[in-house]
Chain A
Amino acid sequence: DAKTTQPPSMDCAEGRAANLPCNHSTISGNEYVYWYRQIHSQGPQYIIHGLKNNETNEMASLIITEDRKSSTLILPHATLRDTAVYYCIVRPYNAGNMLTFGGGTRLMVKP
C-alpha cells in the first residue's frame, strides 16, 4: 500500500469546517483513498472513500486533487464529538485484506 503523510494534530472551532489534509504522492492508479477515525477508547470507524472524484456522504466530504497525490477530508460543521484521530489510508478497492494505518491526525474541536 502507498504511504500517507498527515499532520500530527489540528485544532478546529466548534461549528466551523474542519479540513484535514493527506499527502499520498506515491498512490497507484488502482488505489482508493479511505478515511477512518478513532474516537478515544473506541475502535476505528469508517468515514468515506474515493478514487478520483470528490465524494460526499452524511458524515463528510472528500476532495481528491486531479493528480491524486493529495486529498482533504472536510467535516462541514465540526462538533465536540468529532474530536478524534483521523486516519488517511490508500489501498486497492476489493483488496479485502488489511488496512495499513499511519499515525493519523489528532483533531481537537474546541468550543
Chain B
Amino acid sequence: DTGVSQDPRHKITKRGQNVTFRCDPISEHNRLYWYRQTLGQGPEFLTYFQNEAQLEKSRLLSDRFSAERPKGSFSTLEIQRTEQGDSAMYLCASSLGEGDREQYFGPGTRLTVT
C-alpha cells in the first residue's frame, strides 16, 4: 500500500493560466474524491468518481473546473483561466466501494495563483 499520491505538490501560476493536477489513488480503490481547502478552513468537497463515472459535483465546481478519471484509475483535475480565488490546497482521497469506512487522503497540491 503506497498510499494516495498527488502531483505536483506545489504549483505557482499566473492568473489566466490553465493548470492540471494528478491523483493516483490506492490500487483497487474504486472511489476517488477531490476536495479543496483554503487557509484555516476544513476541506470542501468538489467531486467524486465511482470507477470512471463522475457521480457527484459540488456547486463549488464552476465551469472552469473539470475532473476526469478515464480508466477508473488515476484522476486529473484541471482549472482553466485560473483566478486568485483558486489559490488553495487541492486534496485527493480514495476509498473502497460499498461498505467503506474511511477515505484515504493524499498530501495535496498547493496552488498559488499570482
Is the beta-carbon distance between B98 and A94 smaller than 8 angstroms?
A: yes
Count of residues in A whose CB is under 8 Å from the partner chain: 21
What is the bound-complex CA distance between A85 and B31, given in angstroms? 25
Residues of A76-110 contacting chain B, CB below 8 A: 85, 87, 93-94, 96-104
Q: Which secondary structure dominates chain A's binding surface? A: loop
Is the beta-carbon distance between A44 and B31 smaller than 8 angstroms?
A: no
What is the bound-complex CA distance between A27 and B42, given in angstroms? 20
Name which of A41, A85, A87 has the most chain B CB atoms within 10 A of its CB: A41
Is the beta-carbon distance between B56 and A98 smaller than 8 angstroms?
A: yes
Which B residues are in CB contact (< 8 Å) with A34? 102
Which B residues are in CB contact (< 8 Å) with A104? 42
Residue numbers of A with Cβ under 8 A of B are: 34, 41-46, 49, 85, 87, 93-94, 96-104
